[in-house]
Structure 1
Amino acid sequence: MTNPVFVLTPKTAFVTGANGYIGSAVCRAFVRAGYRTFGLVRRPGSANNLIAEEVIPIIGSISKDATFLDDLYEYTKTIDVIVSCTEQIPFGEHFEGVASFIQKLSTTSNQNGVRPLVIASSGCKDYGTTGVHGTPGLAPHTEESPLQPMEILHDRTYRSLTLFEHDSLFDAVVLRPTPLFGYDSSYYGFAFELTAAAAKTPESTLRLHLDFNTILHSCHVDDCAEAYLALAEHPDRAAVAGQCFNISARRYETLAELAEALTAEYRLRGGVVPASAGDRSANGADLALGYSQWVDSTKIRRLTGWTDKRMLLSENLHVYRIAYEEAARRGHEGVLRVKERIGGSLANVGK
């Protein structure tokens, strides 16, 4: 008696920015779920990292004249899920390239029998800020909240929504994650760098010109990636298509909570404390720690059953710190990008 032969057609995912912070986590999530996953990276030197994660690298840059789709078509002419995890400032020209290749790829996939789901990454800063913890009448941002992005994010906020206009080719979803942490830590790595620098000063104190009731609503990057997957796997495409979804952890933290955890972790004798009114020193902490926002993610939880599983930033700070330091020791691209962006902000610590 011979064993029956089952032919399994693997689902496929194509992820842009596959070596980026969200993109790499999304790739891992789709690989674990059994997708044949392709990752777009600009430099051949980044391909080895994808290969090690069992992601098939596609080399190319996003533009209206991009040719990387020819390389993708050597592997497959159908894509079930297209995930956009790239952004450039200014965003407008970059988005034109994103929209162009998505339309081309979707056309080819449709011609071969598969209508893609496009998952576009925007961000919760599309809504602007909320009040701080304790503000009377404080309420979270939901998907129904008005869009009030800062000027630098205006194009990303509104151009992402134009993907809904191409429903003849693909179904689209726009996701708005909160700030993320874990591994190379995104901008929260800056908090580690600031506190480590303060620990080396004679007074062992980090003073911040910030309201310690500031709401820091973040999410572990792996939990965020699982939210992307949960939408891709949802059995009712009609319930997902044309929708925006927030991604956030089960509760928010405050700067006071994080300050307490940082003080203990780095054994700061003077602690992480509010700066006095007359102290005019600056350290750029508002970049990572000064944006107060409470973000509700009930919509995706109710629809898909997704939930965050990782401990919050302040709850597991030691593990997240040493993971970041190891990433920095290895010269991780994400750490280097953030350090470049924060520039000389660390120079004023302790002054």
Structure 2
Amino acid sequence: MKNVLILGSSGFIGSELSLVLVRNGFKVYGLTRRQESADQLIRNEIIPIVADVREIEKWLPIALKVDIIVEAIADLTDHRTPFIIQEALLKVYNEKPNTIFIYTSGVVVYGDIKNNNNNNGTNDESTPYFSHKFIDWRIKIEKTYKEILGAIIIQPTFLYGKDQSVASYYFEAATKSKDSIKIYGDENCVKGFIHIFDLVNFYQLVIKNALQLKGQTLIANSYNEKIKDVVTCIASFSGNLSNKPIEYLSKLENSFFTEFLTYNQNVSSSKAISLIGYYPLQPSLTDGIERYYNSWLLSRDKNTAFSKLIGTVLP
């Protein structure tokens, strides 16, 4: 299997995955909305498809030719988009049922530890999904991918590295504080984290073992860290600590992002270790704070969807 279509090839995950796969001998097609991004794909020897993902007619012919399709779209504004994509991929499945489908989800589907019945205090793939009006659409779409398309579901934890993606919230909160460091959650709140380079390696391992993994769900996690330790580490390295107290905030009304930030999610990656031999290669966020802080400082982009979202919830 050497032909891959990446839906979301200009995104945080898709861009890195496209580069790694083409370097490892895959013929990679990348869907992107902007010609500027398409030119960059060409420079990296990736074949661009310039279209909005909802313009099915522009990318479906390629989808019918490839061996593997990775859905790595992060549409933060319209939850109808994933269903439009899935409907198109169902057409691919009906014509080419041997196609490998990989869907990118997230551990958000498990909710807070207090909402599940696990006795060991962790979230893993056996944890019941948490019903929530902002999560139920993802649960529904995962079900169709698994039960009909036999897709492999990858559920990353908080991404960090480079501009830090979702984890950039903690960098912003820790460095922009005045009298105190204000973060959502509480002093015992734990999050799972995975570096973008490790996540891309995770995808490679999944692709390598794809025929044996069809219909499986795998959590992609490297480290569990207390958010208190994360923001203290960032603030200390940035010179913004000065013994500032941490002030814990409750979720904002009608803001699922801030609610998710309050979730305590001690996450197990034992299934991925067992099935694909995954282990992190990059240091944890706190252990590698010098490189991660400096990278964030020079590469952060306030115009990305995540940056704009984070900007709306910072006190």
- In the superposition, the TM-score normalised over structure 1's length comes to 0.78
Using the alignment, how far apart are the partners of 2:10 and 2:207 within structure 1?
20
Q: What's the counterpart of residue 163 of structure 1?
A: 145
Letter in 2 for 1:309: L
Change (3 A) 1:223 1:300: same
Structure 1 residue matching 2:176: 3-state secondary structure:
helix
Instruction: State the Cα distance separating 1:286 from its structure 2 match.
Output: 4.5
Using the alignment, how far apart are the partners of 1:327 and 1:105 within structure 2?
37
2:232–2:241: 8 Å Cα contact kept in structure 1? no
Instruction: State the Cα distance separating 1:195 from its structure 2 match.
Output: 2.5
Letter in 2 for 1:98: I
Structure 2 residue matching 1:294: 3-state secondary structure:
coil
> Which aligned pairs between 1:302-341 and structure 2 lie closer than 5 A?
302-328=274-300, 331=301, 336-341=304-309
Q: Deviations over 1:304-339 (max 9, x none)?
A: 1121111111111121121122213xx475xx3223
Using the alignment, how far apart are the partners of 1:243 and 1:185 within structure 2?
28
**% identical aligned pairs:** 21
Q: What's the counterpart of residue 256 of structure 1?
A: 228
Change (3 A) 1:272 1:27: farther
Q: Deviations over 1:277-323 (max 9, x none)?
A: xx99x9x9947853320111111211111211111111111211211
Instruction: State the Cα distance separating 1:90 from its structure 2 match.
Output: 6.6
Change (3 A) 1:45 1:149: farther
Using the alignment, how far apart are the partners of 1:191 and 1:272 within structure 2?
15
**1:124 corresponds to 2:107:** yes
Change (3 A) 1:262 1:80: same
> Which aligned pairs between 1:55-134 and structure 2 lie closer than 5 A?
55-63=46-54, 66-69=56-59, 72=62, 78-88=65-75, 93-106=80-93, 109=96, 115-130=98-113
Using the alignment, how far apart are the partners of 1:323 and 1:38 within structure 2?
28
2:163–2:299: 8 Å Cα contact kept in structure 1? yes
Using the alignment, how far apart are the partners of 1:287 and 1:51 within structure 2?
40
Letter in 2 for 1:342: I
Using the alignment, how far apart are the partners of 1:32 and 1:40 within structure 2?
18
Partner of residue 152 from structure 1, selected from 134, 151, 155: 134
> 5+ residue gaps in structure 2?
none
Structure 2 residue matching 1:323: 3-state secondary structure:
helix
**1:191 corresponds to 2:170:** yes
- In the superposition, the TM-score normalised over structure 2's length comes to 0.86
Structure 1 residue matching 2:163: 3-state secondary structure:
coil
Using the alignment, how far apart are the partners of 1:183 and 1:99 within structure 2?
30
Superposed CA RMSD in Å reads: 3.0
Instruction: State the Cα distance separating 1:42 from its structure 2 match.
Output: 1.8
Aligned length: 309
> 5+ residue gaps in structure 1?
1-9
Instruction: State the Cα distance separating 1:252 from its structure 2 match.
Output: 0.8
Q: Deviations over 1:158-195 (max 9, x none)?
A: 2122023435xxx4111111111111211221222222
Partner of residue 229 from structure 1, selected from 180, 204, 213: 204
Partner of residue 343 from structure 1, selected from 300, 311, 315: 311
> Which aligned pairs between 1:2-41 and structure 2 lie closer than 5 A?
11-41=2-32
Q: Which has the larger radius of gyration?
A: 1
Instruction: State the Cα distance separating 1:50 from its structure 2 match.
Output: 2.2
1:188–1:288: 8 Å Cα contact kept in structure 2? no
Change (3 A) 1:104 1:44: farther
Structure 2 residue matching 1:30: 3-state secondary structure:
helix
Using the alignment, how far apart are the partners of 2:8 and 2:82 within structure 1?
13
